[in-house]
């Protein structure tokens, strides 16, 4: 699109785009196997042996359909231009495959991750306007939350952590709903609360109030302390973010650096652990410290290339190797820190590229969107999701998580902020069309 140019998009046949949006959204928020069996043997299988080809085929099919619809959309250049940082990131990821102990698996997961990013980037242009986006997202989220409550009431053995679970029996009593783990459920419910508050702002009062209350109550019962504490902190942080102008990048980058410095120092420094314990803080951060110790010691061996994309945790080399007799952390599914995991996946180059893509650029885009006043309620929704995802990733490995709602929803926010910074959507119902105006090239 040329600068300040306008193009018209006729939404005839929009039913297909609507159904495709619902299908993609529900795939990531509900999945093909909701309410999984907590006694399944796959929970104990090394990651390299548990790949699901059917899921990969589903994501491939959805990506083809979504990109096909996007190819006919007049605003497609707005999305295509967003792929520049992704091309650089995945080019480096592809190079790190050469250093992986399981290059075939690393390459397969890389391709799968690319498809997830494509789905999330294009899905925002499927609704014909912001009002339809709000309605469709509200319906999908209410369905997901309702399914979780159905599980808690009707199938508690699958929707509530039990003392008889194959793993993490200490979580007994925590609600996980149709998700596989209470931490995923907690973060998902925090996102649902943000969407509920957004629906309230766009005058979908009853659905917004219902979604906010149900998701908030579920979050409380999930036992997800990190998400429960982070939700109000993010609401305050975004309020401040909207008002501090040029200091926004300092707030976000500085906050992430400080938080990671504190928690990772606690993992390797006994004096600092004692200091935190004296303040009444769990210095192990619910036993994540052992995982961080293993991760940090492993990073020092390959600081530049890492171990290949998703090719370190729960692989046979680690699962059955020398570390298995010295620490339980070899059984962890990931580093429980998205930034540490990028060092493991692709070394310092990958971490720097990811920080530029997920922290610096969205901050710039959010600032431009706020300055332009582009649908401030939608911009606020995206900023809340984005900021929550960034800080939650200090305790969970959110980035490039190829299943579940967390990474998918964060990607929607990242790509959504770019759209908010660069384009307006102008409804023109008299002609049955929508005009899209690009604010910049």
Question: In this model, does residue 39 exceed pLDDT 90?
Answer: no
Residue 179, both tokens: 């998700």
pLDDT of residue 76: 80
d(CA 109, CA 371): 38
- Return the minimum-mean-pLDDT range out of 5-9, 22-26, 401-405: 5-9
Q: Alpha-carbon distance 422 to 441, whole Å?
A: 8
3-state SS class at 81: coil
Average pLDDT score over residue span 27-55: 68
Residue 6 has pLDDT above 50, yes or no: no
Is-contact 158 36, C-beta < 8 A? yes
pLDDT at 233 (0 to 100): 97
At 278 the pLDDT is: 83
Please give the average per-residue pLDDT across 212-227, as a whole number: 96
d(C-alpha 347, C-alpha 308), whole Å:
9
Please say if the pLDDT value at position 45 is more than 60. no
* Alpha-carbon gap, residue 160 to 35, rounded angstroms: 10
Closest CA to 123 of 431, 405, 421, 333: 405
Mean pLDDT of 413-425: 86
Mean per-residue pLDDT over the chain, rounded: 86
Average pLDDT over every residue of 399-421: 93
Tokens of 325: 């007799």
Distance from C-alpha of 405 to C-alpha of 141, rounded to nearest angstrom: 10
pLDDT at 431: 42
Helix, strand or coil for residue 254?
Answer: helix
pLDDT at 42: 47
**pLDDT score for 144:** 97
Task: Give 91 or 276, the one with higher predicted confidence.
Answer: 91
Q: Which two tokens stand for residue 245?
A: 């102008």
Instruction: Note the pTM of the prediction, 2 decimals.
Output: 0.91
Strand 423-428's sheet: what is its strand order? Answer: 6-9, 433-438, 423-428
| Average pLDDT value for residue range 49-69 | 80
The pLDDT tens digits of the residues spanning 341-370 come to 999 999 999 999 999 999 999 999 999 999
């Amino acid at each position: 699109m040329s600068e300040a140019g306008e193009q018209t998009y006729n939404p005839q046949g929009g039913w297909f785009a609507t159904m495709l949006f619902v299908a993609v959204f529900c795939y990531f928020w509900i999945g093909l196997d909701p309410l999984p069996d907590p006694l399944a043997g796959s929970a104990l299988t090394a990651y390299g042996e548990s790949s699901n080809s059917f899921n990969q085929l589903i994501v491939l099919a959805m990506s083809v359909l979504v990109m096909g619809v996007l190819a006919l959309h007049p605003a497609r250049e707005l999305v295509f231009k967003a792929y520049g940082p992704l091309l650089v990131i995945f080019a480096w990821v592809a190079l790190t495959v050469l250093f992986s102990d399981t290059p075939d698996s690393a390459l397969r997961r890389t391709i799968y991750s690319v498809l997830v990013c494509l789905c999330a980037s294009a899905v925002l242009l499927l609704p014909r306007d912001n009002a339809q986006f709000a309605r469709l997202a509200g319906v999908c989220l209410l369905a997901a939350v309702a399914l979780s409550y159905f599980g808690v009431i009707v199938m508690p053995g699958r929707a509530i952590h039990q003392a008889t679970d194959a793993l993490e029996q200490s979580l007994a009593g925590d609600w996980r709903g149709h998700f596989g783990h209470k931490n995923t459920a907690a973060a998902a419910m925090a996102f649902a609360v943000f969407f509920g508050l957004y629906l309230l702002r766009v005058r979908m009062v009853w659905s917004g109030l219902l979604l906010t209350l149900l998701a908030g109550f579920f979050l409380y019962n999930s036992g997800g302390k990190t998400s429960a504490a982070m939700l109000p902190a993010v609401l305050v942080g975004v309020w401040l973010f909207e008002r501090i102008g040029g200091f926004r990048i300092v707030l976000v980058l500085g906050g992430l650096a400080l938080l990671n410095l504190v928690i990772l120092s606690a993992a390797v420094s006994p004096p600092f652990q004692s200091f935190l314990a004296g303040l009444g803080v769990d210095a192990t951060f619910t036993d994540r410290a052992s995982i961080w110790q293993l991760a940090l010691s492993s990073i020092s061996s390959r600081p530049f290339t890492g171990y290949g994309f998703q090719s370190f945790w729960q692989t046979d080399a680690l699962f059955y190797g020398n570390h298995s007799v010295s620490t339980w952390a070899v059984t962890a599914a990931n580093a429980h820190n998205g930034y540490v995991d990028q060092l493991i996946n692709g070394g310092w180059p990958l971490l720097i590229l990811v920080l530029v893509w997920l922290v610096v650029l969205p901050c710039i885009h959010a600032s431009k969107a706020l300055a332009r006043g582009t649908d401030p309620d939608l911009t606020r929704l995206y900023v809340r999701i984005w900021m929550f995802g960034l800080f939650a990733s200090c305790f969970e490995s959110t980035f490039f998580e190829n299943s579940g709602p967390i990474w998918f929803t964060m990607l929607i926010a990242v790509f959504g902020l770019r759209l908010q910074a660069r384009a307006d959507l102008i409804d023109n119902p008299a002609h049955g069309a929508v005009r899209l105006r690009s604010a910049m090239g």
